[in-house]
Structure 1
Amino acid sequence: MRSGSQQAQEAGRVTAEVQQAIRRVGGIVEEIAAASDLQGHGIQEVNVAIGQIDQVTQQNAALVEEVVAAAQSLDEQVMRLDETVSIFKASARV
């Protein structure tokens, strides 16, 4: 049998090991919290970037609509110019 003194020493050693393990776990929890905070900031930055991409995409779509309208207008003007040129050519032959 072990003496009470040996048991007390063993209990003290085990208690010290438990305290060290608790400190290590606390440190790990702090690291996880810091990493989570960084991840949260990263997610916010990604959300901002996605919002900016969406805004630019909408602007591009509006510009495409304007280009289509301008192209249609130019097409109509070309047709009228062709008609006008045809009239001049016909009158020049007479």
Structure 2
Amino acid sequence: NQIYLEIMPTGVGKASGMEQLCTLLGARMEKTIVIGDYYNDLEMMKKAGYSVAVANAPSEVRAAANEVTSCGCSEGAVGEFLYRFIDRVTGI
């Protein structure tokens, strides 16, 4: 969409939510993997241990990622990454 507006209180966002979740689970931030597609994901992507951007994300989002999928959100980008990740980890 050409028009996007997101309003949240100061200090609240995906990155702070991810930090709180990691604290609750006793997990380390450097062990997280995130997938983003828009500017509102940038802070989270910078704090995560590994970040993935989808192919149709804005250039700044793709540049901030460790990896970029070959397809967009509606074409199965999350599934594409998960299959690649599972293959990397298991060698299957």
How does the TM-score come out when normalised to structure 1? Answer: 0.20
Which structure has more RCO (C-alpha within 8 Å, separation ≥ 6)? 2
How does the TM-score come out when normalised to structure 2? Answer: 0.20
Higher helix share: 1
